[in-house]
Structure formats: structure tokens, C-alpha cells
Structure 1
Amino acid sequence: MDDPISITYQRSKLAVLYHLNRSEEDLNDAVMSIKYWIESQPHLPRNTNKNRIEFFLLNNTLDIEAAKKKLESYYTMRTSLTIVFQYSNPGTPQMKSTIGSTQIVPLPKLLENIYSVMLIKLRKYVPAELDPHWWVAAAINAHEINIQENLMLNYVLIYDLENLTLEHVLKLTPMFILNCSKMADKGLGRPFKGIHFINCPPVFQLALTIIRNLLRPDLYALLHIHSSLDSLRETFPIDILPKDYGGNEKYVNELEETWLKKYDDYKDYFDNLDVLKVNKDLRPNISLNLFGFLPFDFRNMSFD
């Protein structure tokens, strides 16, 4: 019997290829080109996951040169952006604390068969030592699992801010927001399709002011604020939304319970990610403009 995950992945891949008007042969040829290129780059990890290559290729409409830059940028971030990735392994106390304070759940069904919908809900308790970059690491961990089971043209995010407090907002530093913007733009495929907020308390206006002043206008335009669940259901089909939000999908707590088990299933995968580093001593001379990062985005970082 075929593996259900393999069937789901293949079905989602075909949907994305249909949307892009490209064939599996086109994708396979592009994957081989990327693999040959990786072998010629002494500074890059050799055991690049095929699903990751396919994700970057399809999120760059099979533009091989653009996908190369995204992969280069992805591995550079994982190596040098220690503020995010130092404790990103799900087994670390920092990640366990982060997951304990935030529900991060990719919903089972894809929007329009090509976009993954990720639901993020803050819990009331926020550990004093929590760095907001750990929220990003936890979301990227969910993404890492997701691209092993689905192939999508990036994400639509739903933030449930019912439990948002001033304590949360004060963690939204300029460095954090700019890092999030750069990562979304340079290292994780194409821009998000949309970012939606629901159950927004009055303190959210302060957060929105901070975000507005730091995000590029094109990224800020992706933000959508819903005043009610009816508004949310006008955007998302009820078959996608959990029952908590008036949909037909399982309750969020049920989905989260299933999702958290995946971190154990993918333990070896994440342990391997920990060692996928760029060897900067072997990197050919590359202009910093290839990545477009600002110097203060990174801690303990240097480019040749």
C-alpha cells in the first residue's frame, strides 16, 4: 500500500505544477540542475533534501537561478542567524517553552489546493526569557515538516490574537520585525499570500503601529484584520477552518495534538538540519547583495 504522506505530497505537487502550467518532467529536470549545482558548490551541504529543492523551485516558478539564490540564502540563514536557529531543534528547552506558549498548526487542507494555511495562536502565559525569534524558529520547524508532506506555494497565515497582551507586544522589537521581513523575503520562497488577524484586542493597535512603521508597504498590504468569524469565513472555505472558527475541520487542540507528535517522528530530520551549515571558508567570493540582508540582522555573522 502506498504511503498516505507520499500520496498527499504527490497530489499537492501536481496541483502546484498545474497552477504554474508546468510538467513533472520540467520539475525533475530543474531538480537535477540544482543537484549538480550543489555538488559544484564546496561551501554548501551535500545532502540537500529533494522536497526542499522542489519547494524552492516551484516557489520561484522553476527559475533555476532564482532558486539557487534562495537555497544559498536559506542555508546562510540557518548557519549565521543564530538568534533564530541556535535553539531551533524541537528537542531544546527553548523550543519546548515556545511551543508551550504558542499554538502553531498548519491546517490539513490547502487553500485553493496550492497554499498552506498556518494557524498561530498565542497562549496567555509568556515565559519571561522567551525571545520572539523563537516564535519564528518554531514556525519554521512546522514549515520544515510541512514541506515533507505537502508541496505548496508558500503560506497564508492566520493569527488568533485573543490572548495578546502588552507583554507580547513589547517583545516586537525593530530588530525582530526587520528580521522577519528579511527572512520571509529572502529565505523562505515567495512572499506570503496573506496574513490574517482575528480576535484582535485593543492592544493590537500598538502592535500594528510598530509593524506599520517597519514593514515595507508591499508587505504591510498583505495584512488583513477580521472583525468577526463571519469575516474570516468569507475568506477561507469552511472545509479548511477548524470547528473553533466555524469550520468543518477538527478542533485546533486536536490538530495540535496530532502535529506535536510529528516532532518526535521527525527527530532525525531535525538533528540532521542542525548540521546543515555553510562552510564560509570554502565559499566563492559573493557580493552581500545576493542576500540583501542588513548587517544588524545577524549575530555572530561575517561574510567573505
Structure 2
Amino acid sequence: MPKHTELFSVQSNALSSIVKVYNKTEESLAEDVLNLKKWMKDQHHLPEILDDKSVQNFLILNKCNIEKAKAKIDMYYTFRSQVPDMVKNINPRCSIMKEVATLVYLVFLPKMTKDMYRVFVAKCRTKDKLDQIDLYDVLKMAANLQEIRLKEDIMFGDVIIFDLEGTSVRFLSKLTPTFLMTFITLYKKVYSLPLKGVYLINSVPYVETILTIVKALVTPKLFGRIHVCKDANILKEHFPLEMLPKDYGGTEKSIEELHELYPLKYQEYQDRFDLLDKLRVNESLRPARLADGNDEFLGYHGNFKKLEIDYMPKHTEIFSVQSNALSSIVKVYNKTEESLAEDVLNLKKWMKDQHHLPEILDDKSVQNFLILNKCNKEKAKAKIDMYYTFRSQVPDMVKNINPRCSIMKEVATLVYLVFLPKMTKDMYRVFVAKCRTKDKLDQIDLYDALKMAANLQEIRLKEDIMFGDVIIFDLEGTSVRYLLKLTPTFLMTFINLYTKVYSLPVKGVYLINSVPYVDTLLSIIKALVSPKIFERIHVSKDANILKEHFPLEMLPRDYGGTEKSIEELHELYPLKYQEYQDRFDLLDKLRVNESLRPARLADENDEFLGYHGNFKTLNID
């Protein structure tokens, strides 16, 4: 099949100019190509001898250093054997690759830069399908493009444009350290592609999160080549208009038009991709093993999604805490920060002697248990014990509670559960609960929503100061059918989780955008809580009551304030859950060893949540 689709325009003097940088000529480069092909012929473990153009590119990518080029050519084949997960379903004819092409744009601009670098653009095609994008499959498609470049381009260096238009926090949370390290490693260790610049255009506020991770993974030199811009205007400053697609104000074909050329190009090379599916190194014929095997290659074995990152920075701020908050709060209980710190140490010593407990909590969490219990050490001890006991005594409450579970991810699509970043003037934290869409009310399991709320409290233990809560239940879009789910059993579960596990003092409850049948709900609540708590419940037919009780800088834009919208706050949580994923995985395993308990809890879990085993079976007299 003839080559008919031109993707890469190469300047006529490009090759001679590039090899001159490495003190080479086109003639000496051609000689090096022949020598490398002779070397490949003697490497009986390699499955083929590469064509001249590909060998030439490996030499250029490795600064015309023959020994480095040998290592990278070997690596080019080795990764197919050592990391099979990377090449599974990578063939462009696979349905997965065809699906990727409907979700993202991955295109090279036809013209080179004046420095003879190639510009690559990555962009989501539609924001409606962000959840369908598997970035590892996108990475495979990018690898297929490099295969074509080896045959047709001159690979001297790359500039990457990531267009973030239409993305969300939920989507960017997929850019984990593991994925980013995989991307960087594939570029460096397989294709040796020098990154000459990275442009994050149409940026969003939460891109700082990604930059924090990237900074921990790359050299300062490379990090200094990253440019962030809120729009695409920066491109006109760095590239001539004849290079840029029409999308960015240039005169080149649009991204869509360039994207449509690739299926034709894949067809031209279909035989090559089919062959690549079969090419594997024969390790038994290798003259000498690579140093550290594939550890030298991609740093890990077999599955390229399992890289362990030792350092994952805390980067998503959800809770803003006033600078004087701690000193002001402990003063209420006739304590100082110093005496509180001493109590924390004493409680941790006590935990060390409680052999039935599965761990010793960190200082911040112990501090919060003390504050939640008015700095009373004995009460804090009981609540710390209860914090672990409920995982053993009420297993139904912690089943499928891990944020990575599909059930928890589904809950996040159905309800908003967010804390407002700023504290009240009394240093309380405001929590907002609201249905995301009235079309899916029947899909909401309130017990699963309660589990998600418990996960949020886990993060608060580590990052917040937990002095008291104000809860806003936004009933907009709810129905009688939905409110029927708020049974006495569920409400009692919610109250007990708040008071007996986390000891959270409820300082106020606002039922906004109320509906007539909320009176039924209030009748049930009145029977379950103390008169003191019931008096703290406020009901309003709209959200205006919030402006009367909270400053505008605290309230989300949804309620006439200047804080981020509920949707924007909600989208921060997947990133926060990722930061604490190790903690949630550990919590799945933490259980009390009752055989080692010094003295049994009074009434066992009756003291805890009022009933045994299944938290949906409480009997209300």
C-alpha cells in the first residue's frame, strides 16, 4: 500500500543541521547506521534488524552515541517482553484504540519549530466523556504515534502542548504519580525523546495539584521548561502562526483535521503493527543480561500500573484553619497548646499499652479526639477505643467503604458531600449535603452516602481542627419518595455515628429549599435527639437564611457567596482521597483484637451503635 498521508514535514536541511550539533556529517551518520545494523545482526536475542531510518533516529535521539543507541534499541524490544501490560491491546486495529481516538486528540503538528523540534498536542475531544478515558490506553496510542515517527520523522526533540479545556478535577485526578512516572519513563527510557518544552494551556486552578506531583518526579531543569497559561495566547508568543492549528489562531489545519489523518496512516503501517504484536526478545539467547533486568527498563515488573511512588505530597487544600484556632479552642477548656501536646503524648502512651488496639494514632488525630471530648482524657480514651471497635462490631458499616470501591465512586456521582473551606467565626466547620440530580434520586442509598461522610471525617482527623459542625441539608429537587428513605433507623445511625464514634458536636442544622413534607421528618428527629439539639434546627423554604448566619466569603456561589461552587469543591475530593489511599487501605484491615482487651466495653457494641452487626437493623420502639 503506497505511502500517501503526509504527517511530518521535515526541513530540507534538518538532518545536516542536526548531526552537525553532534560533530557528525550525513555520511558519518550513515556509516554509524550500517555499523549498528551489523551489531543487531549479531544480537541473536533481538527479533529483527531495524530499517535504516529507525536506526538513524535512535542515533539522533542518543546524541549520535553508538553505545547509548545500542542500549535503547535493545530496550525498544525488551519492554515488549518485560512489560506485557503496556503492549496489550495496543494495535491500532484494536477496538480499545479506536475508542481512544473518539475520546482524545493526539496529534503532531506537521511543521517543525525553527530548532527542528516536533510539537505534540493532546486534548480531550468532549467533556461529556471524560470518565471514559483510560490514560494508560491514551499512552499506548501515543506509543503507536512514535512508531510512525521512527519511520518518517527526524526525532530531535519534542514540545508538548496539553490543552486542558473542558477538563475537571475528577479527570485530572487520573494523573496520578504512577501514571505520570510511566509517561515520563516511556519517553526517556524507551524512546529517549528529549522534552524541550511543555505548555499547559486553558489551565484551571487545580492544575497546581498536578505540578506539585510533577515537580517531585522530574529534574529542576525539565520542570523549568513547563509553562502554564489560562488561555492559548502563549502559543502565539512561542510559535509562528503557520505552525499553529486554526484552533489556536494559526493557519495550519485544525486539530480535528489533523486527527482525521491518523486512521489512514495507521492503515499504511498495519503490517508493521501486526508484526510488533509478535516481536519479543529471546532472553535465552541474550549475550549478557541487561543490568537489573527490566528494573533498568521501567523500574518495575510486568504490570506498568503498579509502580510504587515513595513520595506523594499533600497538595489539595480542603480545610482552611484560622491561625489562632487551636490556641482559642483549647483556652475554652482551660488548656494551653503546650498542655494539649502533653495530653496527646500521654494518650499515645496509653494506646501503646492497649494491646487490643491495632495501631497508635498520629498526633493530629489524637489531638482532635481530645478537642472533640472537651480535652477530657478519659472520654477521649473511650472514643478512640470506639473508633476502632465499630469496625469489628458493625462490619456492615465498613463494607465497601474504601473510596476506591465502585460503590463509593457511584455515590460521588449522585450526591454532593462537601465541607466549606473556611471556618465560622466560632471555629466550627460547615458541611453541605445535597442531591446532584433529581433524575437519580432512586439510585441513592443513604447508608452508602453515610459511609462517604465517614471517609470525609477520616481526612478531617488528619487535617482539620474538629471543634464542632454546622450541617446544611439542601433539599432542592428531593421528593416524598426520597425523604421516605430518611427512616428512624437511618437517622439514628447518622446521629450515633456523629456522636458515639466521632463525638462531633452539632452546633446547627439548616434544612434549606424545604418542602411541605419536611414536617414529617422533623417529627421523627424530635423523638430521637435532645431538646437542645432540636432547637438548633432551622428550616427555610429557600437558601436566604444562610446569608443571615454566615459571611458571603464563606458561602459557595450557589448560595450567593464568593466561595467556590459546590461542584468545584466536590471535584477536589477525588484528589484528596488519592492522597490518603494508603490510609483507607489500611483502615480496611484494622480491627480490634477482643481477646487482648484489658476490660470489655460495657454492653459491647450496644454501647457503641445500639445494635449488633448490621447497622440497618436497629429496632425503634
The TM tier, using the shorter chain, reads 0.7 to 0.9
Aligned to 1:34: 347
Aligned to 2:400: 87
Aligned to 1:133: 447
Aligned to 2:458: 144
CA contact (8 A) 2:441 2:482 kept: no
State the secondary structure of the residue aligned to 1:208: helix
- Which of 450, 461, 470 is the aligned partner of 1:156? 470
Aligned to 1:282: 596
Aligned to 1:119: 432
Gaps of 5+ in 2: 1-313, 616-621
- Which of 338, 351, 356 is the aligned partner of 1:43? 356
Aligned to 1:76: 389
CA contact (8 A) 2:515 2:541 kept: no
Deviations 1:212-239 (A, max 9, x none): 3333433323321123333221111211
State how far apart, in whole Å, the 2-side matches of 1:294 and 1:143 are. Answer: 17
Q: Confirm whether residue 239 of structure 1 aligns to residue 553 of structure 2.
A: yes
Q: CA 1:294 to 1:52, structure 2 compared with 1: closer, same or farther past 3 Å?
A: closer
- Which of 373, 384, 391 is the aligned partner of 1:60? 373
Q: CA 1:63 to 1:215, structure 2 compared with 1: closer, same or farther past 3 Å?
A: closer
Deviations 1:202-257 (A, max 9, x none): 23233223323333433323321123333221111211111111112111111111
- Residue range with higher mean Cα deviation, 245-254 or 218-227: 218-227
Q: CA 1:150 to 1:243, structure 2 compared with 1: closer, same or farther past 3 Å?
A: same
State how far apart, in whole Å, the 2-side matches of 1:9 and 1:48 are. Answer: 21
In the TM superposition, residue 140 of structure 1 has moved relative to its aligned partner by 1.5
Deviations 1:47-106 (A, max 9, x none): 323221111101122211010011111211233222322121111122112222110111
CA contact (8 A) 2:507 2:536 kept: yes
In the TM superposition, residue 19 of structure 1 has moved relative to its aligned partner by 4.4
State the secondary structure of the residue aligned to 1:108: coil
- Which of 225, 231, 234 is the aligned partner of 2:539? 225
- Residue range with higher mean Cα deviation, 219-228 or 131-140: 219-228
CA contact (8 A) 1:195 1:222 kept: yes
Q: CA 1:290 to 1:280, structure 2 compared with 1: closer, same or farther past 3 Å?
A: closer
In the TM superposition, residue 35 of structure 1 has moved relative to its aligned partner by 0.5
Please identify the structure whose Cα radius of gyration is greater. 2
Q: Which amino acid aligns with 1:208?
A: L
Q: Confirm whether residue 299 of structure 1 aligns to residue 608 of structure 2.
A: no
In the TM superposition, residue 289 of structure 1 has moved relative to its aligned partner by 5.0
Identity %: 33
For normalisation by structure 1, the TM-score amounts to 0.88
State how far apart, in whole Å, the 2-side matches of 1:82 and 1:249 are. Answer: 38
Q: Which amino acid aligns with 2:614?
A: R
Q: Confirm whether residue 22 of structure 1 aligns to residue 325 of structure 2.
A: no
Q: Which amino acid aligns with 1:144?
A: E
For normalisation by structure 2, the TM-score amounts to 0.45
CA contact (8 A) 1:60 1:67 kept: yes
Q: Which protein, 1 or 2, shows the higher relative CO under an 8 Å CA cutoff with sep ≥ 6?
A: 1
CA contact (8 A) 1:119 1:159 kept: yes
- Which of 179, 182, 186 is the aligned partner of 2:500? 186
Corresponding pairs, count: 299
Deviations 1:168-222 (A, max 9, x none): 2222222212222222221112421111111112232332233233334333233
- Residue range with higher mean Cα deviation, 245-254 or 208-217: 208-217
State how far apart, in whole Å, the 1-side matches of 2:560 and 2:513 are. Answer: 14
In the TM superposition, residue 286 of structure 1 has moved relative to its aligned partner by 2.3
State the secondary structure of the residue aligned to 1:232: helix
Q: Which amino acid aligns with 2:577?
A: Y
CA contact (8 A) 1:102 1:121 kept: yes
Gaps of 5+ in 1: none
CA contact (8 A) 1:154 1:189 kept: no
CA contact (8 A) 1:83 1:133 kept: no
